[in-house]
Amino acid sequence: MTATTDGTGESPLPEAEAGHSTTVPAPATAAPGAPKTREAAARAVTLATEHLLARQDAAGWWKGDLETNVTMDAEDLLLRRFLGVDDERTTAAAARFIRSRQRPDGTWATFHGGPAELSATVEAYTALRLAGDAPDAPHMAAASAWVRAQGGVAAARVFTRIWLALFGWWRWEDLPELPPEIMYLPKWVPLNLYDFGQWARQTIVPLTVVSALRPVRPAPFALDELHTDPRRPAPPRPLAPATSWDGVFQRLDKALHVYHRLPVAPLRRAALRSAARWIVERQENDGCWGGIQPPAVYSVIALHLLGYDLRHPVLRAGLESLDRFAVWDEDEDGAPVRMIEACQSPVWDTCLATTALADAGLPPDHPALVKAADWMLDEQILRPGDWTVKRPHLAPGGWAFEFENDAYPDIDDTAEVVLALKRVRHPDPERMEKAIRRAANWAVGMRSRNGAWGAFDADNTSPFPNRLPFCDFGEVIDPPSADVTAHVVEMLAVLGKRHDPRARRGVEWLLGEQEECGAWFGRWGVNYVYGTGSVVPALVVSGIPVSHPAIRRAVTWLGEVQNPDGGWGEDLRSYRDPEWIGRGASTASQTAWALMALLAAGERESAVVERGVTWLTDTQREDGSWDEPYFTGTGFPWDFSINYHLYRQVFPLTALGRYLHGEPFAETPLEG
């Protein structure tokens, strides 16, 4: 492939420097801890390795369940009822799962051990009503009473009220407006489509269609019990001062409501056609959109409203793709239970599993690692996607998170895949090196102006999308983050590029982002423990000495927040409440992240590390796995949380492997 600039005028990585051998350097000599601790760690690594190897798919990939919250299950049922494709078995199985997640007070939370959440409770309650649960049943009455006490449906998020509007339970006129004409805003105008993060962009386009057409499929019952006053379900909201940003956007929303009543008809029709074309063009080969469930759900609704029959190939494939998000199981009575994943994470899980097994001591040419590398190489994306809007001259070469998501590769997966591939001795080294080169050039080219990296786009930092009344569902932009930047910086260092100006700029940015306490914020994992566990190894492999003040502050902080049991944990409430930073029940994944930082910082023989290793070995189950009900993954900070079921397996194995064998890239060669 012809080398191109990264869109900022900078050239790609030089051939000679990125192309050294993929053979893993010999691990540093390590004789850590007390003999009993080492022996326990070695046993744990053996068991965990066997457990992880047994979970590899025959094609070479790993994928753990991705658990979020019951809004996914409720919205899936609502979609099926809206389209008329619901069936008794699916409805009953989904209802069992939703009931299993209800709290004793009748509410639902969005993460294990978290507080009750209004929108989740409204949606779960509504889905159970559709499934046949009576409103006067004790579990339902408790839920509706709590909803009323919190302000009723009127206080729920916009997306929840959109779902209710589809069935006539809420008036479309009482929802914020976002017209499909947004498709035509030039890319230099604030609030153009590409000011939104990729996940929001894919969701907003179909929702502008739904909002414009305002369909209603009357429900078989009312939901008066969810309103504080059924005669006045949508009390007027106070108007913020016109001089404030909130006031500006409230008045803009009022103007858009006026436009909805009096649109320019030819422009509206053209915008709807453009939105349909945009949606269809981004459907993946497996029928999904973006590899994630919410855009797929709204895209199916939008296209159906625009005249696509359910038997149309586009919608048929879309509905089939939604079935693949379902995880079927049985409850303790043997009845089927159905959970919906928000997305699936095979690329992410596979690269992390490959790294973990390499850290555990598997030889780099082990068949499982080679098979995983082959699968990852086949998944590399070699066609342009939406990222070309900001980087039109950049050659592709990234990886996505999911099985099929060619329009939206992400920088985080790309960096971690490269790091995993560097741990494998592949029988076709030329193929490997070409893939790594393409990936590194693409990732470097996606950096933002401040020298750091976001997840999907470059310079996706507009302050305006988050202010729209329509966008109250979580983060809708994709600014650079410490964890993604750390993974790219680590990748560049491993490729022998630690002195590249772009790598050094990334290191400087990371040093500037350290919190006063010594930690780093975690955008895509919970939270400061994840950020610190990502940044410290990247800084050290990039040449920052372990004696550097930033590293010592991080080590001190990790020692201060270690739990009395020897593990580490951090609750999702740390995204909103500083009192929770570094605090929470110990978990296997978060303990591993803390250990990965401490080991990189040269603390292998410290009592803090020994206690952390002991916690991991003591809590390992007989089958070599760890249990972890807590959510340690982040979709949107606080608003959308994830329990990656494979995190509890791969990260402890990585940490224990590095404890036994040393840092994997301790002898990475430098360029020149």
Q: Among all residues, which ones are annotated catalytic? A: 412
How far is residue 191's CA from residue 171's CA, in Å, rounded to a whole number?
A: 26
Phi, psi of 330 (to 5 degrees): -130, 145
Go through the chain and tell me how many residues it has. Answer: 672
How far is residue 277's CA from residue 269's CA, in Å, rounded to a whole number?
A: 12
Amino acid found at 369 = L
| Burial bucket for residue 461 (CB in 10 Å: 0-12, 13-18, 19+) | middle
How far is residue 466's CA from residue 636's CA, in Å, rounded to a whole number?
A: 12
Report how far apart, in Å, the C-alpha atoms of 140 and of each of 115, 125, 218, 272, 388 are: 18, 7, 22, 39, 49
Q: Is residue 493 within 8 Å of residue 415, measured between CB atoms?
A: no
Alpha helices by DSSP H, listed for 166-307, are 198-213, 245-261, 265-281, 293-305
If phi over 0 gives left and psi between -120 and 50 gives alpha, with beta otherwise, what is residue 229? Answer: beta
How far is residue 309's CA from residue 63's CA, in Å, rounded to a whole number?
A: 33
How far is residue 351's CA from residue 412's CA, in Å, rounded to a whole number?
A: 11
What angle, 0 to 180 degrees and rounded to 10, lies between the N-to-C axes of helices 293-305 and 198-213? 30
Report how far apart, in Å, the C-alpha atoms of 508 and of each of 14, 419, 459, 489, 496 are: 22, 21, 18, 11, 18
SS3 35: helix
Instruction: Tell the residue number behind the tokens 């009575």, with chain if given.
Output: 333
* CA 148 remoteness from chain centre: 32
Q: Is residue 420 within 8 Å of residue 352, measured between CB atoms?
A: yes
Q: 316 is written with which tokens?
A: 């048929």
Q: 125 is written with which tokens?
A: 């309650």
Report how far apart, in Å, the C-alpha atoms of 300 and of each of 149, 334, 563 are: 34, 33, 47
Q: Is residue 668 within 8 Å of residue 25, measured between CB atoms?
A: yes
Report how far apart, in Å, the C-alpha atoms of 4 and of each of 12, 396, 431 are: 7, 10, 20
Phi, psi of 210 (to 5 degrees): -60, -45
Give, in degrees to the nearest 5, the angle at Cα 223 between 306 and 96: 85
How far is residue 160's CA from residue 601's CA, in Å, rounded to a whole number?
A: 46
